[in-house]
Amino acid sequence: MRKTAYPLLALTMLLWAGNSIAGKLAVGHVSPMVLVTVRWGAVFLILLATQAHQLKRDWALIRARWVYLLSWGAIGFTGFSVALYYALHFTTAVNTSILQGGMPLFVFAASFALFGSRVHLEQVLGFTLSFIGVLVIALRGEWANLVTLNVNFGDALMLLAIIAYGFYTAALKAKPMLHWTSLMIMLCLGATLSALPFLALEAASGSTILPDLEGWALIAFIVLFPSLLGQVLYIKGVELIGSNRAGLFINLLPLWGALLAVLILGEEFHLYHAIALAMILAGIALAERRSLTRP
């Protein structure tokens, strides 16, 4: 299971890092709530059109837990997406990627708050080591930069986003035993319905931007890769190794974000990026040490 989960979760983080890049590129080409609503509405319609038969098979379980499923779709999908896409109007894609590296802390906290889950010493040490790697990227290898950091409105929004997704990740532990397609359909339905009031508020404020050609291209990318494929891979990863361990892989987000910036924006890859990569991977390995050596 670990051999399957690890590459799935690493790929998930690469796709999610791409979501931040695409969200930043979308500024001025489509407004945040149009993007959020079309994103989850499109995934919902794609899955419903192709997997309605599976939804019917799982309907008895869904009917018993439909409030739970719609609620976590609203929190994990819409809550995170709204905060992310608005944050990208005020901060950089690099910052949003770096801040997402803090998600494991909130996954640990949410798992404890919701289920009283135990957090082992190896997990704490592994998270700490990985997060130091995140800080290496955040500070560009210069610890003196720590004293000049300021939290702007966009960064504050991202903190709200990662708190929401931390609780969503932990809550997946209690999901009904549905096929993954049925789970995604219900989560995306909850996300779409909960996005509509925000879309109406955006329209009322006169800030709606309908997508142009570039906007549609970015929406297509976000729908197919970070939203559809990425969420499916993440759910499978959580099923295989649990939310605490799966959440730790989110520390790869800053690394993938930096690599995408090199490939897409032509930025340089510095020595501190390599150092951060080594620390992040070492932290993940340390956190997994308990499960590899103990029953």
pLDDT tens per residue across span 190-233:
999 999 999 999 999 999 999 999 999 999 999 999 988 988 88
Residue 292 has pLDDT above 50, yes or no: no
How many Cα atoms within 13 Å fall on the side-chain side of residue 136? 21
φ/ψ bin of 23: left (φ > 0), alpha (ψ from -120 to 50), beta (otherwise): alpha
| pLDDT score, position 152 | 63
Q: Which amino acid is at 234?
A: Y
**Least confident window among 73-82, 108-117, 125-134, 184-193:** 108-117
Residue 295 has pLDDT above 60, yes or no: no
Q: How would residue 240 be classed by pLDDT, with cut points 50, 70 and 90?
A: confident
Q: Which two tokens stand for residue 62?
A: 């869904």
Global pTM reads: 0.80
